[in-house]
Structure 1
Amino acid sequence: MKELHIIGVPSDLGQGRRGVDMGPSAIRYAGLSGRLEGLGYHVRDLGNINVPTPEMTKAADHKSLRYLPEVTKVCTDLFGMVNKVVKDGHLPIILGGDHSIAIGSVAAMANQDQTYGVIWFDAHGDMNTEETTPTGNIHGMPLAVSLGYGHPDLVNIGGFQPKIKSGNVVLVGIRSIDEDEAKLMKQAGVKAYTMAEIDKRGMAAVMAEAIQIATDGTDGVHLSLDLDALDPTFAPGVGTPVNGGVTYREGHLAMEMLAASGAVVSVDVVEVNPILDKQNQTAVMAVELLQSLFGKTVM
């Protein structure tokens, strides 16, 4: 059994609302290490990557890429740390922070000798670029960057691009997509399951297909878990909540199916915002989902 190595990335540089920098602390406070150790894993917490606060720097003008140098540095540092964890034979659990950090975690997985698919749980597509972004916030761009679309500083982290093949990428739970973002998603050939499709077909059928796509010809799956994929009823503490999301049971079923597949080799958990939360409910939800991902079952 692989050791689980936890890495915190307390960054809200890619997000428009402050507070997700406290996400790693909230998830730890919710008992992550102890809960995973209770499942029989050896867990090692490597602490946090050093991240500057917005007060330490000045963002670019609106419609540019806000905090581009700082986000690039954070993702480059994360790339190095995750790369070492994986090469040492361990499984990284990366705690965000906003979703821009996935640029670094996906890059590190792509830097290995093996190839990986990606399952991206999110209310949003994260497929904007500098040309299409309505906000300039880089947390709306990490999937596009990983597929080779975007600013060279971000796309070339690790010294190569693209990081992943679109044919092995699956979006699950989306329900808020910008028009130009949707065009790029179709152009790139990314498979996306909207909440409407989950409603019609059920999470079990969607996840069975998602796992098949992400594992087809690959050596495993990187899971990028944005808590705003969940309905705000279950995960109120996120920066960009969207009604009509994944339910509590649907979320656990998805994680249980991923656990049964044995395919997950790395995971990032992002966008937990304790400032907007209710009694740490969203961080607790994140921990419970990770428990299901790593094998907890009712019986």
Structure 2
Amino acid sequence: MNSNKINILEFPSNLGLKKTESEIEPGVKKLPEWLKRHGFHKKINPYNILRIEPPEYAMDFDVESSVRNADNIIEYAINQSKMLSDKLDENTFQLIIGGDCSILIGNSIALKQKGNYGLFFLDGHTDFIWPELSGTGGAAGMDLAIVTGYGHDKLSNIFNQKPYFKEKNVFCVGNREYDQEYVRPILESEIKYFDLKTLRNNGLAKTANRFLELVRKNNLDGFFIHLDVDVLNDKIMPAVDSRGIDGLTYKEFRELLIPLLSSKKAVGIEITILDPNLDPKGKYTNEFIKNFIEIIECGKACT
């Protein structure tokens, strides 16, 4: 971590998700309050807590981009980028609580405007698909593609900053959706891709250190971590919108994240997709908080 001082930035957008038939709207926007209720903020003891409210949820389909809620996502991303940009000028580490994965867009813009950054994308899916391959039109399933310059320019080229991350500076780690057509786009990209099977074969800490070596070799200004909690094993984190079998254990999770957060080049991490509606008793949330706090403390100790 680049600093022991931690800001919590709350970006509780659910605009990137399509609601199910049983939902009024996706519950991920409740995550900041949910984590605070379970003691997360107190344990982090942040330097600042800042928040931006998202536009009202809808499922509007934007014909121009073929992405739902595109205009509202863009508006929110711009507001996010302004807040994050101010905080990146401080000697602080940014802990960002979503929301769905579309919050990566605004965070990426801020980083691109500040310099040349890497991205460690830790997710149970690649999120590297185009609108025509999406079954929902939700930006949360396309975020990695958008931030590396794919899709309509209205999302991928805000402020003429395309691409927000260069493919060669991105690791995509933890995918366990192995369908050939789904993974083909990322296999044909310059992104360093490690599905769950490959990650385990290569070694988790070894993979993290390979990324840190890339950051050093490419002389990057720093790096950002995207964490979709659906990268965790379904038995320990089922409170997500798109479940799948297997996933990282907490032991593996620690082994992967501690080297990254121990690096002075780590400028921030975003937590996405944990849905309080799917964990009404807080069982899975409390276990996540316990393990995440331990990881953060290890990272701080090595900084």
TM-score, length basis structure 1: 0.88
Write out aligned runs for 1:225-236 (5 A).
225-236=227-238
Q: Does 1:143 align with 2:154?
A: no
Question: What's the counterpart of residue 49 of structure 2?
Answer: 45
Amino acid at match of 2:190: G
Q: Can you list the C-alpha shifts for 1:48-68, whole angstroms capped at 9, x where unaligned?
A: 2121332xx451279931111
Q: In the alignment, what sits opposite 1:30?
A: 38
Deviation of the 1:186 alpha carbon = 2.6
Contact 2:187 2:193 in 1 (8 A): no
User: CA 1:231 to 1:197, structure 2 compared with 1: closer, same or farther past 3 Å?
Assistant: same
- The AA in structure 2 aligned to 1:291 is I
The amino acid of 1:44's aligned partner reads N
SS in 2 for 1:275: helix
**Amino acid across the alignment from 1:52:** P
Q: 1:227 touches 1:270 (CA, 8 Å); kept in 2?
A: yes
Give 3-state SS (helix, strand or coil) of 2:48's partner: strand
Pairing partner for 2:110 from 105, 108, 111: 108
Q: Distance in 1 between matches of 2:181 and 2:80?
A: 29
Is the Cα contact below 8 Å between 1:226 and 1:271 reproduced in 2?
A: yes
In structure 1, stretches of 5+ residues that fail to align are none
Q: CA deviation at 1:30?
A: 2.6
Q: Which of 74, 88, 91 does residue 90 from structure 2 map onto?
A: 88
Q: Which runs of 5+ in 2 are unaligned?
A: 20-25
Shift of 1:196: 0.8
TM-superposed CA distance for 1:214, in Å, is 4.1
2:221 and 2:59 mapped to 1: Cα distance? 41
Given residue 4 of structure 1, which amino acid in structure 2 is its aligned partner?
Answer: I
Matching residue's letter, 2:183: A
Which deviations, in whole Å up to 9, do the C-alpha atoms of 1:96-129 show, x marking residues without a partner?
Answer: 00000111111111110x3211101101011122
CA contact (8 A) 1:225 1:269 kept: yes
RMSD of aligned Cα (Å): 2.3
How far 1:43 moved relative to its partner? 2.3
1:162-219: CA deviation from partner (whole Å, max 9, x where unpaired): 1111111001111115655523213321111111113323322222223323443212
Paired residues in the alignment total 290
Q: 1:27 is paired with a residue of what secondary structure?
A: helix
Residues 155 and 161 in structure 1, CA contact (< 8 A), matched pair in contact too: yes
Alignment correspondent of 2:22? none
Q: 1:183 to 1:284 in 2, by over 3 A?
A: same
Q: What's the counterpart of residue 164 of structure 2?
A: 163
Amino acid at match of 2:201: K
State the alpha-carbon separation in 1 of the partners of residues 279 and 117 from structure 2: 33
Taking the aligned partners of 2:143 and 2:291, their CA distance within structure 1 comes to: 22
The farther-off stretch of 182-191 and 229-238 is 182-191
Residue deviations 1:132-154 (CA, integer Å, cap 9, x gap): 21210110111111111112111
**What does 1:249-260 align with in structure 2 at a 5 Å threshold?**
249-260=251-262
Q: Which shifted more, 60-69 or 137-146?
A: 60-69
Assess if the C-alpha contact under 8 Å between 1:269 and 1:286 holds in 2: no
Counterparts in 2 of 1:126-275, with a 5 A limit?
126-176=127-177, 179-217=180-218, 218-275=220-277
Farther off after superposition, 134-143 or 280-289: 280-289
Shift in alpha-carbon separation, 1:120–1:137, aligned structure 2, 3 A: same
Whichever residue aligns with residue 282 of structure 2, its letter is N
Does the 8 A contact of 2:36 with 2:42 survive in 1? no
Q: 1:147 to 1:61 in 2, by over 3 A?
A: closer
d(CA) in 2 for partners of 1:215 and 1:241? 35
Give the direction of change, closer, same or farther, for the CA distance of 1:136–1:58 in structure 2 (3 Å limit): closer
Q: Do 2:28 and 2:273's aligned partners in 1 also have CA atoms closer than 8 Å?
A: yes
TM-score, length of structure 2 as denominator length: 0.87
Q: What residue identity is the alignment partner of 1:43?
A: Y
For 2:254 and 2:33, the matched residues in 1 are separated by: 23
- One-letter code of the match for 1:251? F
> In structure 1, how many angstroms separate the alpha carbons of the residues matched to 2:34 and 2:123?
20
Q: In structure 2, do the counterparts of structure 1 residues 116 and 7 end up closer, same or farther at CA, with 3 Å as the change threshold? A: same
Where 1:228 maps in the other structure, the secondary structure is: helix
Between the aligned partners of 1:167 and 1:161, the Cα distance in structure 2 is 14
